[in-house]
Structure 1
Amino acid sequence: MKTSVVYILAALTASVLAQLSPNCPLLGPVFPSATDLARSNAFQDTANNFPRVLDSAFASGLLDNETTSFSISVYSEKRENPLFSYHFASPGLNGSLPSGQLDDDTIYRIGSVTKLLTVYSILAQNGDADFAKPITDYIPELKNVTFKDEIDSVRWSEVTVQSLASHMAGLSRQYSLYDLATLGGEALGLPTLESSSIPSCGVVNNNKGLPTCSQTQLINGLLSQRPLTSTFNTPIYSNSGFALLGWVLERITNKTYQDAVQTLLYEPLNLTRSSIVVPDDTTNIITPYGSDSQFSLDLGGGAAAGAAYSSLADFNRLGRSILSSELLPKALTRRWMKPLTHTSNPLTAVGAPWEILRYNTPVSAKSNTTRLIDIYGKSGDVGLYSSFIGLDVDHGIGFNILVAGNNTTSVRFALAGLITESFLPAAEEAAREEANATFSGTYSFAANGQNANLTLSVDEQPGLKLELEVNGVNFRTLLAEIYGEAYANASLRLYPAGLKDGSKRKMTAVFDPVITGPEYDPFGLSCASWSVVDGLQYGGVGLDEFEVEFGQDKVESVTALGLRITLDRI
């Protein structure tokens, strides 16, 4: 019979547990990331085949093979050299390469990926201590601005550094940049404007010959614009917000924006082919259609939103530094690489300044089951250039895309899709391969009249399959006694907990019951494993807490922490 204690436990948790469905992993990797993807058959097969994937994309017209050049790479935080790189010099862009070749050191403009440099520099200087502070603490010109009403005035006291970094400040997209009033809007049939409504500065060469906007002109321009929405209401992409963040960086470092990024990022990471202004050495650059490429376009006071230049080699070092927390404490990197707001698309979110894609990848090459992997990305566009950096934290890999030519935006996103659909499943399969080689096996304990047997294996589902028997009793019997018959055939899975010390690694078990009933689930509780972790404690330690210890090349023992027993590999 169930004891009163068991009844209490069941009553406290049944409302959530009854909603669980099989194979509901926690957020994050379902296996430890592969230690060396270059040795993975699955990953190397993908890398070897990827040029053929690109050939097919050229043949189908998905990629422009005449007037758009690009450089791409896939890399790991654990290896200095990229796992895959590829350069395509478009035959229709003759004369765009002064050095005569396209390689890892060729300099492109990276556009709005500059925004990532801006936030990274702020974090490298002060961590995220500035994020909650109002922008008025750093730009006093905004402190005494008269507030008129909700529709016509920005409440600058509500605009924080974090709201700017995550596009949640409600500010206009930009001031003057590509404003139709300076680009012959009247010829398009638009009404004539008063001269006071037409920006007197800009960044695009046009028939008005506008000078580049200074910081003061940009601030005054911002003050002339209405808010688009209230703060922290919905993300609205804002170059203006990042112009302000550039000035925050200047105030907290007492340096120019250019010098701050140079000191905080470029020098410690040895990014010798990166700059905020036009590079001094223009030998190995790419300029499709010469000056029409806008390679030398000056963004003036808006530099922090999109002015930077970089090469594929430097892009790789930048991405690896984030994945490995080279410049930031690991806890800060983990906080940084989390969403700050949703979008209306359930598979996209926004960070600071991450553009986050939730990608469904097969959990194994032979399975129809998928799981979500978050890709932390940032895209950029300026002139005839597009760029993208994408980081897959679960597998410790990243990919970079630099594009120049006629169809840069479409080519950039086509390449991002092809890389994601090829290399992320390969990285997942590589982790699965390595987990099978290092974890799978039988482990045993016998002492003081007690005994236990544990088996770990890899199947076609996420995580390690766990079988546990203690003193001749299957662990599911205990779960069923407490939680009900749905647990009599529960799927027991073991996942990385994100904690390790030397040869030891913490693992978390998830107990997924077999549930039958209506599929309608408006609150999304069908995968609520995160809410019941550590739900069964024994002497203050969860029965789902495990620790594994590695030998030279595989796990040698598994400790069931709640049961206080260590089982050795047989």
Structure 2
Amino acid sequence: MHFIAILGLFSAISAAGSATVGFEPTDQVPLLGPSFLSNFDPTNTDAIRNATEAFPCVIDALFENGVLNKTDLTFAIDVFSAATNKSVYNYYHVGEGQNKTLTAGVLNDKTISRIGSVSKLFTVYAIIAKAGIDVFSHPVTRYIPELARNSSGDSLEHINWDDITVGALASHQAGSGGPTELIIWLVLSGEAQPEDLINITPEQLFKYMRDVKHPVTSPFQGAIYSDAGFLVLGQILARISGQQYKDAVRDILFEPLALDGMSATMPNGSDINAIDRRPVDPDTTFDDDTAVLTPSGGLFANGADLRAAGLSILNSELLSPSVTRQWMKPLAGTGSLVELVGAPWEIHRLAVPTTPGSSRTRISDLYTKSGGNVDYTCIFGLSPDHGLGFSILVGGSTASSARWEIRNALGELFIPAAEAAAADNAQNNLAGTFIDQTTPGTNLTLSVDDDLPGLGLKAFYIGGVESFQNLTGTTKKASLRLFPTGLTSHPQSLASLYKADGTIKVAHRTIKGFIPLKPRAKSEGGKGGLFDNQQVWQNIDFTDRFDEFIFTLDQGKLISVESTGANKTFTRVE
């Protein structure tokens, strides 16, 4: 590794607070969700600037170590923010000799690529946008009655579709597995000739899924990745919309969101801007175009499309804010403590430093979807805690493994950097002392504290009397920290907290940890045993709303704090 690469990695880890050996969870369990408000432009922060400066060095190090194939790969990266509704950072790489794959002679955020199984996310997005999230509870046979009444009642041999819901398919919990035998069955059974496989019909798919497909697990046994299930979901969208899948996603998503480069068929024409690997690889999947497979892994898109789609989710442009939040929740677990499954989100529970440079961590959920078409791969991610998103589009014979390394490099820089930026902003714009000018001796102090999540309530006096007891309901000594609850005076989208202009009110709640704090569970990296003994989420709103504080911010600066329970308003004095 070159010296400059070493410096890049070191500065990245130091500035962004990236995870290192020896990290352990913060003693006080926080609420799940953002630690600090992110109503500021992250591009104006040192943490994000340091991350953007360090990222090329990190990629160069991966090239030099042979982790990434510099010659083979072409990739485009876009990091974007809901605070500004635009890119925070772009990075592009074109391998030596790969220019001939760029149909427009340039790689930018308008360059179209295959997105593989990220298509699944858009299939579900379109279903919810068209039918509402209640459709998750509907049985699949409500929309596709052809799947009912399997030829065999043996649950070991055939999927019982009467037991499977739309939500089970969307969250990989139908036990429907993969469709690898579909092509073989079509040919061997005489259902289709090899030259006709590009035109597999929905009826052929239904017959295979009903009479041939072997179940992998019982419904809702757990999450088992299912390409086959998403072929069925695509046909459910077609039935709900009364259109073919390609027309439904166009009318429901692509046109309303101005996703101009996105399509359900291979882009054609002399003026397209795409990564077309046919000039360098006769076996490329660029022109694989089987309509029935598209809902699972056949869409095309560019970085600008994925940015617009990500912002539409964070900003609740097509869905209501409550439906957005409901959709962005885990629906199943896995064998890992840090990987959960949504519909069809791949949710990573990241341990991020609580404050810049800290070795203590809190949990932040990163919502992603990955995809691959052999020599084309993609990863799409959203961090609701930070109003941040990213896309990674990769082309190359080594694209399948490269996407994970690029994701790791990107995530380990930018997610901790976003957390560090929020902590710095909190120190500069939220922390301080506030007084009630109508009642002598009535004041409170908010702080950002090393190694601890959220804002600390360092002092709380009413009429000259320390009033922590009102917040805890006991005289026991406690550590008190404030966290945003998502309730604001503006529309309740995920991005509402990132509003930078004007005046906004934001609700916070105080969580308490009685001192001495009990150790965290061993499985979390703490010094405790099998169980975690801090039931933070169970101890909110038990003190006549004394734990509620309403922040009023003007142009991002906290100017006053209202204590709901004490019926006092405190204005900033320093």
TM-score normalized by structure 2? 0.86
Q: Would you identify which runs of 4 or more consecutive aligned residues in structure 1 move more than 6 Å? A: 516-520
Change (3 A) 1:478 1:34: closer
Match of residue 173, structure 2, among 160, 168, 171 = 168
8 Å CA contact retained: 2:26, 2:360:
no
Superposition RMSD in Å: 2.4
Distance in 1 (alpha carbons) for counterparts of 2:150 and 2:509? 53
Distance in 2 (alpha carbons) for counterparts of 1:178 and 1:416? 32
- Where in structure 2 are the equivalents of 1:297-446 lying within 5 Å? 297-445=288-436
Residue aligning to 1:493: 481
Moved more, 334-343 or 467-476: 467-476
Structure 1 residue 180, shift from structure 2 partner: 11
Distance in 2 (alpha carbons) for counterparts of 1:420 and 1:426? 9
Change (3 A) 1:567 1:385: same
| Alpha-carbon displacement from aligned partner over 1:58-100 (angstroms, at most 9, x marks no partner) | 1122221011111111001232431111111111435212322
Give the fraction of aligned pairs with identical amino acids, expressed as a percent.
Answer: 37
Distance in 2 (alpha carbons) for counterparts of 1:87 and 1:42? 21
Distance in 2 (alpha carbons) for counterparts of 1:293 and 1:367? 46
Distance in 1 (alpha carbons) for counterparts of 2:412 and 2:180? 37
Residue aligning to 1:192: none
Distance in 2 (alpha carbons) for counterparts of 1:517 and 1:34? 33
| Alpha-carbon displacement from aligned partner over 1:368-399 (angstroms, at most 9, x marks no partner) | 11111111111111131000101000000101
- Where in structure 2 are the equivalents of 1:112-261 lying within 5 Å? 112-176=117-181, 195-196=188-189, 200=192, 210-223=197-210, 224-261=212-249
1:560 aligns with 2:542: no
8 Å CA contact retained: 2:198, 2:289:
no
Distance in 2 (alpha carbons) for counterparts of 1:437 and 1:238? 47
Q: SS at 1:527's partner residue?
A: coil
Structure 1 residue 211, shift from structure 2 partner: 5.0
| Alpha-carbon displacement from aligned partner over 1:246-293 (angstroms, at most 9, x marks no partner) | 111111111110110000111011111110011133632212224421
8 Å CA contact retained: 1:21, 1:515:
no
Structure 1 residue 524, shift from structure 2 partner: 3.5
Distance in 2 (alpha carbons) for counterparts of 1:80 and 1:556? 25
8 Å CA contact retained: 2:312, 2:318:
yes
Could you tell me which amino acid in structure 1 is paired with residue 367 of structure 2?
Answer: Y
Distance in 2 (alpha carbons) for counterparts of 1:561 and 1:479? 11
Structure 1 residue 23, shift from structure 2 partner: 2.2
Distance in 1 (alpha carbons) for counterparts of 2:513 and 2:550? 20
1:72 aligns with 2:61: no
| Alpha-carbon displacement from aligned partner over 1:415-461 (angstroms, at most 9, x marks no partner) | 1101111001111111111111221111112546x642200111212
Change (3 A) 1:135 1:239: same
Structure 1 residue 565, shift from structure 2 partner: 1.3
Match of residue 469, structure 1, among 436, 457, 461 = 461
Change (3 A) 1:120 1:517: closer
Q: SS at 1:83's partner residue?
A: strand
Q: SS at 2:268's partner residue?
A: coil
1:101 aligns with 2:106: yes
8 Å CA contact retained: 1:21, 1:527:
no
| Alpha-carbon displacement from aligned partner over 1:117-164 (angstroms, at most 9, x marks no partner) | 100101111211211000101011112334512212222111100000
Distance in 2 (alpha carbons) for counterparts of 1:281 and 1:116? 27
8 Å CA contact retained: 2:123, 2:234:
yes
Residue aligning to 1:89: 94
Distance in 2 (alpha carbons) for counterparts of 1:496 and 1:235? 31
Question: Whose radius of gyration is greater, 1 or 2?
Answer: 1
| Alpha-carbon displacement from aligned partner over 1:442-483 (angstroms, at most 9, x marks no partner) | 1112546x6422001112121111121223333345567x54
Distance in 1 (alpha carbons) for counterparts of 2:136 and 2:309? 22
Residue aligning to 1:504: 505
Q: SS at 1:35's partner residue?
A: coil
Could you tell me which amino acid in structure 2 is paired with residue 77 of structure 1?
Answer: A
TM-score normalized by structure 1? 0.87
Structure 1 residue 516, shift from structure 2 partner: 6.3
Q: SS at 1:493's partner residue?
A: strand
1:284 aligns with 2:285: no
8 Å CA contact retained: 2:481, 2:512:
yes
Moved more, 96-105 or 394-403: 96-105
Match of residue 539, structure 2, among 529, 532, 544 = 532
Change (3 A) 1:477 1:321: closer
Distance in 2 (alpha carbons) for counterparts of 1:132 and 1:255? 22
8 Å CA contact retained: 1:21, 1:513:
no
Change (3 A) 1:96 1:479: closer
Structure 1 residue 245, shift from structure 2 partner: 0.7
Change (3 A) 1:214 1:560: same
Could you tell me which amino acid in structure 2 is paired with residue 513 of structure 1?
Answer: F
| Alpha-carbon displacement from aligned partner over 1:88-115 (angstroms, at most 9, x marks no partner) | 1111435212322222111111111111
8 Å CA contact retained: 1:110, 1:382:
yes
Change (3 A) 1:391 1:177: farther
8 Å CA contact retained: 1:201, 1:212:
no
| Alpha-carbon displacement from aligned partner over 1:16-56 (angstroms, at most 9, x marks no partner) | xxxx9942210000101142111112111211221122112
8 Å CA contact retained: 2:27, 2:518:
no
Change (3 A) 1:401 1:553: closer
Q: SS at 1:292's partner residue?
A: coil
Change (3 A) 1:504 1:517: closer
Could you tell me which amino acid in structure 2 is paired with residue 567 of structure 1?
Answer: F
Change (3 A) 1:443 1:74: same
8 Å CA contact retained: 2:470, 2:543:
no
Change (3 A) 1:22 1:469: farther
Could you tell me which amino acid in structure 1 is paired with residue 534 of structure 2?
Answer: C
Structure 1 residue 353, shift from structure 2 partner: 0.6
Report the number of matched residues.
524
Moved more, 286-295 or 384-393: 286-295
Residue aligning to 1:458: 448
8 Å CA contact retained: 1:175, 1:221:
no
Distance in 2 (alpha carbons) for counterparts of 1:477 and 1:132? 45
Residue aligning to 1:23: 28
8 Å CA contact retained: 2:262, 2:302:
yes
Which consecutive unaligned segments of at least 5 residues does structure 1 have?
1-19, 183-194, 203-207
